[in-house]
Structure 1
């Protein structure tokens, strides 16, 4: 068998899914979300390839206890628009955290993932729960400590 030196070899093997659980209690929003996006892409693996889904599933618990620095609690705004005239809704971090605490982490991580089919698939591998209760105990997730 002759191997051409100009060809790139890509290892094609079946990747077993890995499940991790992260406790967001007293974690900073930006640091937590950037580290989660890094792990979801699989950039911590030595066999990282940009276009391959590494089948890493991450469960985040206690999302309502996430922390942010400075005066962002009152100043940071989340905007959404219905598409109709006058349909712009603006909500502060404080109000959104009481109403839908999962949306804050979802929006932060989604902004750090690629804007293509792979990014949308990786986002479905992220599970966020506002309490410490989650339905994924049968997957036996490993506890992941973030810096």
Structure 2
């Protein structure tokens, strides 16, 4: 008789370093979301946190295709009347480039407790410097 495989929670953490320089926003975001969820492993279980931490550097050099640089908008609202703020990709990339990648990845993660845990395992930095050298992250080159 076949038995169902149930993965136990993992204790070992893995750290990956991804350079976002000259990468397309959507393609790198889907790759990172799959990596975070652990879909690249043969022991993938949807409800288990895979303990994968991802460091993304050079967030300011992310690219989008077509006219999305000026047409793509980011909206935020505090809930108070008159507080709607609309900003396009180009302005947000000058001001806070890390938020663009975080927003794209967060939309691809599950909308539950596990998704919030996975989102905390992402570290996005504007430039090449990052404070996670002690974790010895494995560098991943993405050819999309």
TM-score class, shorter-chain normalisation, is over 0.9
The residue aligned with 2:49 is 53
Deviation at 1:97, TM superposition (A): 0.3
Q: 1:87 aligns with which of 83, 87, 90?
A: 83
Larger radius of gyration: 1
**Deviation at residue 54 of structure 1 after TM alignment:** 0.7
Question: Matched residues in 1 for 2:92 and 2:49: separation?
Answer: 31
TM-score by length of 2: 0.95
Equivalent residue for 1:119?
115
In structure 2, stretches of 5+ residues that fail to align are none
Could you report, residue by residue, the CA deviation over 1:61-98 in whole angstroms, capped at 9, with x for unpaired residues?
00000000000111111000010011110001000000
Instruction: Quote the offset at 1:6 in angstroms.
Output: 7.4
2:86 aligns to what SS in structure 1?
Answer: strand
CA distance in 2 between counterparts of 1:56 and 1:91 reads: 32
1:18 paired to 2:14: yes
Q: Does 1:64 align with 2:60?
A: yes
Residues in 1 aligned to 2:60 and 2:137: alpha-carbon distance in whole angstroms: 21
Are residues 134 and 27 of structure 1, via their aligned partners in 2, closer, same or farther at CA, if it must alter by over 3 Å? same
SS in 2 for 1:10: coil
Stretches of structure 1 lacking an aligned partner (at least 5 in a row)? none
